[in-house]
Every structure is written in structure tokens, then in C-alpha cells.
Structure 1
Amino acid sequence: MADYMVRASALHGMRPTIEELGGDANALLKQVGLSDAELDPESWISYRSFLQLLEIAALSTGCTHFGLELSRHQDIGILGTLGFIIQQAPDLRTALRELTTHFSHHNQGADVSLSVDGSIAQWRFTCKLEGKVPISQQADLVAGIGVGLIRLLLNPSWSPSAVYFSHAPPPDLKPYKKYFNCPVFFNWDSSYSTFDAAILDRPISESNPQLHRVLREHLHMMQSKFPNDYCGQIRYLIQQAMTTGDCSIERVANSLAINKRTLQRQLKTHDTSYKDLLEEVRFDIARGYLLESGGSLTALADMLCYSELSAFSNAFRQCHNVSPREWKKQHATLM
């Protein structure tokens, strides 16, 4: 079953929210394989596992509006560079357009969209995952963050005209009415919020056009480095794992909250294997190092997570039919 990835920064506030509600955060994170995910907010985790965590957190704490509670612990900072870009936009319309255009930089498994019909603006959330996927807590979370974002940019006391959810109404509606301060509807065809379109052209008081432009350029550069295809994403995760000294299949599978057999199965459907991708990444880095660096081969072998220099040399020779030193000499003469 297809999955997508979301930045681990989406877990910000998860632990205190669970613990404030009397839950065991360590046990829940471990249950979905995300125990270590909080350590690096810039890494990527399984979106399906993130949704599962939201749902089991709601069940284990007995808080049917857990997603809404989590939104109180999250702010624009979870979006990283994208969050800074939004804050520096000239007006709300531009800020929300930036978010809809670049949302995949934060979450590849969902879309947010802005539409305007006359005097009414509509802010909509859509999950890309197919099949039976629990999204009620995610819908609450996105709605809560969205309203919080507009309050941050324009006015802390702002409220939408109405909020609609596709899920059934929870037993207690008071938290929704208190937070959104507007009519809230359930069992709708989709999840979205509506508000007065006139506010879209309101300026953001502390925006900086020059900084906005620089940050946008930086984000575009970052996005160009992160691939959209599945195998490319695994290569990216392998490179990330190398910086920790452990690029094993178990480590990469754990970052996706799946076991290694599942990862092997998914890669097989793409006519490749983890070993093949690991070698591709290792040798791409090795060739660049040999051409551009005067560093030692021992340091290179260590950087590529080989147990010893001889293991790297043997693997390199098997792939290139020459030793690393000989390959460096051959290609140095071509430069």
C-alpha cells in the first residue's frame, strides 16, 4: 500500500500533549516505530504512521479532539523555512498561496488549497493516501493550525465564518466551539474552513520583501534536492543515515516506521534492492570525494559506514574494476 512522507517536525508538541492528557508518550511513539523520530525534526517519517499515532493517541488518552489539542502546541515553526517565508509575505493571500504551493516540502501525503467564490474564501484539507485511512485527528489538527496561522499573521482574536469536518461529531463539542469561535459542522463531504475573502488582501505588518525573496530562493534550492520518486527518497534517507554512522536497512526502515521486510518488498516492486541503492549512494559520494578531495581513504571509508578500509576498497574494486587510488589517478588525468 502506497505511503508518503512528512517532516518529523510534525511531531513537535506530540509528547507534551499526550502526557498532559495522561498518556504514555514513549509507549505510543514506540508502538508506531517513531521512537527516535523526534531527535531530528528535519528528517522524514512515514505519513501513514503519523496518522496512526494521532488516532491511537486519541484512543489511549480518551481525548476525542486530540488533533485540536495538539494544534495548540504547534505553530508556524513546524514548517521550517516555509514558515519563515509565509511570515515575510506581503499579505495574507500571498502567504496562503505560498503554503499551498510548497506544502509538499512539509507533508507529501496531503494537500491544502485556497479558493475564493465571491466574498467567501475556502481553506480545504485533502489526504492523498488511498484505502481506509484514519484522518479525523489530522483534519482537526490542520484546521486548528490553519486558524492559528491566520491569527498569528493578522489578529489574535480573528475567527473563521465556519468550520466543516468530514468526520462524525465527537461527544464533546465545547473544545471546537471555544477554539474556533464560530459554527462548526460535522459529517460534511470534506474538511474545510470558510472566511471573509476581504482579509486576503490585508498586509502582514512585519513582512520583509527582500527576506521573502531570499527565503523563497533557498526553499526552491532545497526542494530541488529532495526527489519525488520513491527510490530517490530512499537514497536521500540513506545519505541522512550515513551522517549518524548507521546506514543499515533497519535504520532506514525504522525512519519510515516500517520493518525491513516491508522496505525490501516495496523496493522490489521498483526493480531494485536496498543493497543496490546503498551502493549507488556510496559510490556516488566516493567518486566525488576522490575527484575533489585530498582526504584519506580511511576517512572516506568511515564516512560511508564501512567497517574498515579493506571492505570499502574491495567493494569499490568490484564495481569499478580498479582500486580507489587507481580510479583517482585515471580520472585526474582527464580533468
Structure 2
Amino acid sequence: MKPLVRNAALNNYVEVSQSLGIDARALMKRVGLDPVGLAVQDRWIPGTAVIQLLELSAAASRRGDFGLLLAERRSFSNLGPISLVLRDEPDVRSALELLVRHEHMYNEMLRSRLSGANGLATLKVSLELGEAMAARQATELAVGAFHGVLRSFLGARWQPLSVCFTHDAPADPGTHRRLFGPVVEFDREFNGIVFYASDLKAPNPMSDPLLRTYARQYFESIAVSRDTTVLDRVRELIEVLLPTGRCSIEQVADSLGIDRRTIHRHLAASGETFSAVLNATRTQLAEQLVANPRRSFTEISGLLGFSAPSAFSRWFRERFGCSPREWRVRGTGQRPSGEE
């Protein structure tokens, strides 16, 4: 199946796009992503859509450094729950190894590896896309983000021995040199960062030994396996695709890189059907959205993937036994007929 990434991968995308004079909303729609959905950082979206979006944005803005402009704005919070543990790891090695070991918790495309030899440490970064496609911007974003993490531990003046990219140099390497210094190199055999192994022994200045145990316990309670089920992925993608008006089993299958029969088979093994999962997801979202008086029913209709407010109203009445307006007025939080 095609990999997914957290919405947080696109943190500050809208702001950077606006600063460069390009239409973020139009470009996101073009690759099937919902701009409003970016507000939910822990929602998962198709990784290939993010790759395409970054390449389109670089072309539209005529900025070959678009990925790095995003990397400059990265912070620990972009990593999600794992960031809470990183802050209290005792040293750089422990933090970096934790980040590499649990990379699937924030980006299923990312493959990173830390190795050491002859007094040097090498962090290699690659992306597994499941298909051939240009990924220069996403690669530079990933390497830039790791570089930012290392600097957060080692200080703003820290500089690696080399920052390597397999692609050729941009026409204007100004941003690359500003971010990485004079050590950035192109046309190398791998993407990643080379630095002194002794840097890994540096103590983490942010660490609080008293909080470390609690942070670890919390993280272990929420850490997820790499083996996310098809049902989990389908639910995530339905939430992502509903506002685009393109939520069909064919679109979900395409986002996952499998055919619809495979989805039917996996869902059947879990006692589910696509239509049942779609309806359940819509129902859960409808309860949350209709209860919010700041949302208009026309807006909610679009967010739930209906072609017209009238179609949404009919579906809602069939599902909940009353109109959306009546539900909102009652404010009782009742559930659909026949459910507990």
C-alpha cells in the first residue's frame, strides 16, 4: 500500500505559499488535499499527494528551495507525540535513535538510518514512495528537518561536516548555504548528514531527568506498530477525502496503491464494508460538526462530501431521525435511531 504522512508534514505550507504569491488552496485541491483539513495535525494523508504538492509549489513559485523554506519553520511539535519524549532524552544519540526507530509514527515514507565509523556519524535519509516520481523538495524538507533537530540539541552555531544530496545543485543555492553553511554538497551517493560521532554524546540541554520516566511511559502507551490495518487507513482517508467531494472506494484504493477488490477483502475480514465505514465516519463527523453553531449547514454539507445541502439534510434525517437544525436546537447529543 502507498505510505501516508501526518498532516503536520505540511505545517506552515499555507504561510510559505502566500509569502511567495502562489495559491495554496488551488494547488492542494489539484492533488486531492483539503486545505481545511490541515488544522487537524494528527490526521493522515497520502504521501504521494504531499510529494506532488511540494513539486508543484516549487514550480509555481519558481523557487527550487521551496522544501527548505518549509524546513526552516519546522519545530519539535511537527513530530507529534514523539516530540514530548525527545525533549527529555539524556543525550543526542538517544534522541536521534528514538526518532529514527519510530519514524513510522509521523511519516510512513521516511526511511532514515544512523551509522558510525572512524569517528564519524552518518544519518542517511531516503523516501520510499511506492512509485517513480520526482521528490526533490520532500527530500530536502526531510534532510532540513533532521538538520534542525540536531541544531536544537547542539546549538544554533553547530555545523555538520557535510550535508549531502543525490540531486544536482539548484540554479541559486543561496538558501541551501544559508541553512546548512558551506558544507552542502550535491550529486553525492546519498541524502543525509555527516558529522562528528562525538556530537552524539552531547548532553541534551532541554532534558529534565525527573520528567524522563513519565515521558517514556506516556509514549509507550500511545506508540503504534508499523502494521497499521487497512481498516484504519480507510477510515483516515475517508475523513481526508470527504471534503474534496471525491470520496469513493476507487479514490481510496488509488490513494493506498491497491485495487478496490483488495479493500473489499480486507474490510470483509474485519466484518466491515466500505459503505458501512463511510456512513459510520460521516455520522461521527456530522455529530461533531452540527453541534458547532459556528458552522453553517451548507458548509457542513460540503465537509461531509454531499453535492448539495438538500442531499445532506435527507441523509441526516434518515440517519438521526430529525433535521440538522432540530438536532442543533435540542443539543441533547442523542444518537441515530437504532444505536446506543
Please give the TM-score of this superposition, normalised by the length of structure 2: 0.74
- Note if 1:167 corresponds to 2:167: yes
- Note if 1:108 corresponds to 2:108: yes
Q: Which residue identity does 1:261 align to in structure 2?
A: E
Aligned-partner Cα distance in 2 for 1:57–1:126? 21
State the 1:227 CA deviation: 5.1
- Cα RMSD over matched residues? 3.2
Q: Secondary structure at the match of 2:318?
A: coil
**Could you say which residue in structure 2 is the equivalent of 1:261?**
250
State the 1:220 CA deviation: 3.0
What pairs up with 1:39-188 in 2 under 5 angstroms? 39-188=39-188
- Note if 1:14 corresponds to 2:25: no
Task: Output one character per residue of 1:297-325: Cα deviation in whole Å (capped at 9) or x when no partner.
Answer: xxxxxxxx8833579xxxxxxxxxxx969
Task: Output one character per residue of 1:56-100: Cα deviation in whole Å (capped at 9) or x when no partner.
Answer: 010000000111111112211101211121111100000001100
Q: Are the aligned partners of 2:250 and 2:260 in contact in 1 as well (CA < 8 Å)?
A: no
Indicate the percent of aligned positions where both proteins have the same amino acid. Answer: 24
State the 1:31 CA deviation: 1.4
Aligned-partner Cα distance in 2 for 1:181–1:258? 45
**Could you say which residue in structure 2 is the equivalent of 1:23?**
22
Aligned-partner Cα distance in 2 for 1:126–1:140? 10
Aligned-partner Cα distance in 2 for 1:306–1:7? 34
State the 1:232 CA deviation: 3.3
Q: Would the alpha carbon gap of residues 68 and 31 (structure 1) be closer, same or farther in structure 2, given more than 3 Å must change?
A: same
State the 1:127 CA deviation: 1.0
Q: Are the aligned partners of 1:112 and 1:125 in contact in 2 as well (CA < 8 Å)?
A: yes
**Could you say which residue in structure 1 is the equivalent of 2:303?**
none
State the 1:271 CA deviation: 3.9
State the 1:45 CA deviation: 0.6
State the 1:260 CA deviation: 4.4
Q: Would the alpha carbon gap of residues 174 and 57 (structure 1) be closer, same or farther in structure 2, given more than 3 Å must change?
A: same
Aligned-partner Cα distance in 2 for 1:44–1:51? 14
State the 1:118 CA deviation: 2.0
Task: Output one character per residue of 1:200-233: Cα deviation in whole Å (capped at 9) or x when no partner.
Answer: 0110112023433323333333234885233332
Q: Secondary structure at the match of 1:6?
A: strand
Aligned-partner Cα distance in 2 for 1:77–1:128? 24
Q: Secondary structure at the match of 2:195?
A: strand
Q: Secondary structure at the match of 2:123?
A: strand
Aligned-partner Cα distance in 1 for 2:42–2:19? 25
Aligned-partner Cα distance in 2 for 1:181–1:38? 32
Q: Secondary structure at the match of 2:102?
A: helix
Q: Are the aligned partners of 2:241 and 2:247 in contact in 1 as well (CA < 8 Å)?
A: no
Aligned-partner Cα distance in 2 for 1:260–1:93? 43
Q: Would the alpha carbon gap of residues 264 and 13 (structure 1) be closer, same or farther in structure 2, given more than 3 Å must change?
A: closer
Q: Is the deviation greater in 30-39 or in 188-197?
A: 30-39
Q: Which residue identity does 1:159 align to in structure 2?
A: Q
Q: Is the deviation greater in 162-171 or in 214-223?
A: 214-223
**Could you say which residue in structure 2 is the equivalent of 1:279?**
276
Q: Secondary structure at the match of 1:19?
A: helix
Q: Are the aligned partners of 1:47 and 1:109 in contact in 2 as well (CA < 8 Å)?
A: yes
Q: Name stretches of at least 5 consecutive residues in structure 1 with no aligned partner.
A: 242-248, 284-304, 312-322, 329-335
Q: Name stretches of at least 5 consecutive residues in structure 2 with no aligned partner.
A: 281-315, 323-336
Aligned-partner Cα distance in 1 for 2:160–2:31? 34
Aligned-partner Cα distance in 2 for 1:56–1:5? 19
**Could you say which residue in structure 1 is the equivalent of 2:214?**
214
**Could you say which residue in structure 1 is the equivalent of 2:301?**
none
